[in-house]
Amino acid sequence: MKRSTRIIALVLMFISMFSFSGISVYAEETVEPQPRYTEVSEFVKTVKSTVVSKSIQQYDIIKNQNPKHFLSVARGQTITRQVSFDIEYQLTCSAEAAVDAAIKASFGLGSGLNLKLNFVRTDTFVGPNAPYSSRNYYGAISYDQYKIVLRNTNRYNVYRLVNGQKQFVRTEERTDNYTQFANIPKQSYYSVDT
């Protein structure tokens, strides 16, 4: 009797194992697959920018812009004096306001589009040699090209593409290094003999 009871117990155990595994397999087969999607990011704007480093790439890449005549000296004359004047100019280093402000601040330039460069110089100014009768002195703005490395915090909108449809998911910010080239103004002087 004990032997038959054991055999019955074993048979029942095998039956239950196959029944549960069958249910499990059936359950796995009836789970519907989730739709596949891709996330894409779209740049919104730079919210913060800091200059990490800057190095000059080319001197006088643009020369003698917005010239201002400040003195004429006749042939045979020598004049020692201090000259002082301003030259107004416009400068945009980047379309992103935060980047533009960071670059200008790192060079001690003003903020905004319209800027002013103050010229102050004490020097001896000499007239021309023959056949010229007058030497005209000018102040102007020239530009050196710089390579600038910035640390930018950029804002992005993240979208999920599901079956060709774009769905907004979140806004996020990421901080990355970014390299930009910019022409930075400086004072320049030159003369023309007439």
User: What is the number of domains present in the chain?
Assistant: 2
Q: Are residues 98 and 23 in the same domain?
A: no
Q: Are residues 10 and 53 in the same domain?
A: no
pLDDT at 35: 61
Give the pLDDT band of residue 99 (cuts 50, 70, 90).
very high
Domain of 27 in residue numbering reads as: 1-32
- Going across the sheet that includes 38-74, the strands are 38-74, 134-162, 165-193
Q: Are residues 56 and 3 in the same domain?
A: no
- The token pair at 5 is 């009871």
In angstroms, what CA-CA distances link 21 with 11, 15, 31, 171?
A: 16, 10, 16, 45
**Residue 182 · residue 93 · CB < 8 Å:** yes
Q: Are residues 89 and 3 in the same domain?
A: no
Q: Are residues 51 and 23 in the same domain?
A: no
Give the pLDDT band of residue 23 (cuts 50, 70, 90).
very low
Q: Are residues 45 and 79 in the same domain?
A: yes
Q: Are residues 53 and 111 in the same domain?
A: yes
Q: Are residues 119 and 75 in the same domain?
A: yes
Q: Rounded mean pLDDT of the chain?
A: 88
Q: How many whole angstroms separate alpha carbon 100 and alpha carbon 177?
A: 15
pLDDT beyond 90 at 67: yes
Q: Are residues 94 and 178 in the same domain?
A: yes
pLDDT beyond 50 at 21: no
Q: Are residues 118 and 136 in the same domain?
A: yes
SS3 at position 19:
helix
SS3 at position 109:
coil
Does pTM top 0.75 for this prediction? no
Q: Are residues 20 and 52 in the same domain?
A: no
pLDDT at 24: 47
| Dihedral angle of Cα 45, 103, 93, 64, to the nearest 10 degrees | 180
Q: Are residues 17 and 64 in the same domain?
A: no
